[in-house]
Structure 1
Amino acid sequence: MSKASLRESSSETPAVSQARRDAAPAGDRPAADVEMARVLGTVPFRMALDASGAGIAHWKHDPLHDVIEPMSHHVVMAYNGSVQRMERRSGRSVAIGTFRPGVVIIIPEGSSSRWDIPRPVDVVQLYLPQTTLKRVADEAEAGSLADLLERTAHPDPVTSRLLLSAADVLEGNEALDTLFRQQLMDLLATRLLAAHSGSSNMVAPARGGLAPKTLLRAIERLRSDSDDDVSLAALAAEAGLSRFHFCRAFKDSTGLSPHAWLRQHRLEQAMNMLRDTDASVVSVAATLGYSSQTAFAAAFRKLTGESPSDWRRRAR
């Protein structure tokens, strides 16, 4: 987008923007990643989306003085940078906040506001469809679904920490990254319902672990070579549970989330191949589904503190 276009967008008043928001049908609103790319005038440092446009994006962008138009997703942001003041205008309402680690920003689906941020920003964003929020509310038996509240630099270290973790966990392995993103989306949706909606309903308590046979079937799926088998939807359907209750029950049974269990399993596979075969590191990475040797080495080092080659030399 040109600088001229950005200036034209910035000149629109909040009142005009509010009127456009009210007039625009929900189906005509852009997806969050599209609107963010327009208003930020750059590309994300890292992004992972599914077909619905739901996902996570890590942006590093310049100072912002522009109007964010109504989007078809809820947007939740966690800040990762030096402390700075910012201003957000929605209609006649003005909110002045302080960006710092541990705070969150929430832009509910369909809302619009003008932003004035004087310095560069490092931020991780969650794009959450209303359908996902409703499904999680139904599965968690949280009662009627209330609207998300608009938040501006609102203290919430739990949500901030969860969202910022996403920027570092994507490993270049499609099965692991997809499963992690699905779990994180559900977990963050649960947190938003509990802490940032107009409802005081609490999420239903856990119902205990999986039955032994159900747990074995879930583990067989996680060990499968098919990425379709390890989707959260497939795992939950096999167990006859919602995604929400499956994740809770699996962790009660194993002490690990499905994503953490699969990551540990892939690490054990990698160690066995490095120790017991002469397969190259490139071959091990490809066999385990990593997009590159670099992605595999980074994931291996994160869990073991060593590169695959160094670990192999020490283990033999």
Structure 2
Amino acid sequence: MTKPHDRLNDPAAASEAPQETPSHAERRSAGAEMARVLGTTPFHMALDSSGAGITHWKHEPLHDVVEPMTHHVIMAYNGSMQRMERRSGRSVAIGTFRPGVVIIIPEGSSSRWDIPKPVDVVQLYLPHKILERVAREADVVAPGDLLERTAHPDPITSRLLISAADVLEGNAALDALFRQQVTDLLATRLLAAHIGAPTMFQQTMGGLAPKTLLRAIERLRSDSDTDVSLSALASDAGLSRFHFCRAFKESTGLSPHAWLRQHRLEQAMNMLRDTDASVVSVAAALGYASQTAFAAAFRKLTGESPSDWRRRTR
């Protein structure tokens, strides 16, 4: 008699044996299931209070079953090209992992993976409630089923997801705002390109009313203890997160994250030019986790280190 553990490690048994789908309450979160099946810890992980998460994994070859999870998992492959196989019940998908492809595991689905070489992949863990919220805010019909994708060419989603792991700056407010925006943007992309039924978006025109824009900017300019999350900004404006982001960019030419990053840079420049505060003090005052994180963010936007910029402008 085949033991359950043996069935997981036998491709034929895994594809043919009837599987009892666990209830939602019995499923693991995506982070917990990925840690179990990959047998390692992520190279980088950033989780959001909404339940969404972005992780960067580098793991060894995989020959195992990924069990049903409480999240949709969307992956952007970032490694060298290789062939792989994915089995879901009696269905077998053979694909080629290469940069620019995405992998989608809808919540509650299960499949066996056979990947012969090491893997470098960025993953988005997306609760279905976020997909439903973004659909509601974008004035579209309720989302259908998210399609299962195996090495599916989609350079737009791939670039967005990889950027989500690359752009973190070591500043808690900026990083959280960026993750919220990119998660909503990825959810919008999934609705447009990876849902079983066509999704129709309605166009929205116009920016924020002047008083509403001023309140949003005052909130973004406030000290580090003020809530500058997308939810707080949108609620203050009386709009959904989706429409707030669109209207804010229409009014300012920048997303809320880009506006706040530019504002922090201007604050940094003023402090470096007009005071004798050390670079460490400037970094701490602006909410960066370390001088290194601040210097990297400053150099990315100006091309110079804070110390070099200070010497040149004084």
TMscore range, shorter length: over 0.9
Residue aligning to 1:10: 9
Residue aligning to 2:213: 215
Alpha-carbon offset, residue 145 of structure 1: 1.8
Post-superposition Cα deviations, 1:127-179, rounded to whole Å, max 9, x if no partner, equal 00011111111111111220100000111111111001011111111100100
Residue aligning to 2:47: 49
Confirm or deny: 8 A CA contact 1:175 1:227 kept in the other structure. no
* Partner SS state of residue 89, structure 1: strand
Residue aligning to 2:31: 33
Post-superposition Cα deviations, 1:72-120, rounded to whole Å, max 9, x if no partner, equal 0000000112111111110100101111111110000000111111111
Residue aligning to 1:102: 100
The answer to whether 1:148 aligns with 2:146 is: yes
1:94/1:301 CA distance change after superposition, 3 Å = same
Partner AA of 1:73 in structure 2: H
* Partner SS state of residue 272, structure 2: helix
* Partner SS state of residue 19, structure 1: coil
Residue aligning to 2:19: 19
1:190/1:116 CA distance change after superposition, 3 Å = same
CA distance in 1: counterparts of 2:57 and 2:120, whole angstroms: 6
Partner AA of 2:153 in structure 1: P
The answer to whether 1:88 aligns with 2:79 is: no
Residue aligning to 1:164: 162
Alpha-carbon offset, residue 46 of structure 1: 0.7
1:314/1:7 CA distance change after superposition, 3 Å = farther
Q: 5+ unaligned residues in a row in structure 1: which ranges?
A: 1-5
Could you state the TM-score of these two structures normalised by the residue count of structure 1? 0.94
Alpha-carbon offset, residue 256 of structure 1: 0.6
1:210/1:128 CA distance change after superposition, 3 Å = same
Flag as ranges the 4+ runs of structure 1 deviating above 4 A. 6-9, 15-18
For 1:280, which of 278, 281, 299 is the aligned residue? 278
The answer to whether 1:245 aligns with 2:243 is: yes
Provide the identity percentage: 78
Residue aligning to 2:179: 181
Alpha-carbon offset, residue 10 of structure 1: 3.2
Alpha-carbon offset, residue 304 of structure 1: 1.2
Could you state the TM-score of these two structures normalised by the residue count of structure 2? 0.95
Give the RMSD, CA atoms, in angstroms.
Answer: 1.7
* Partner SS state of residue 227, structure 2: helix
Residue aligning to 1:3: none
Q: 5+ unaligned residues in a row in structure 2: which ranges?
A: none
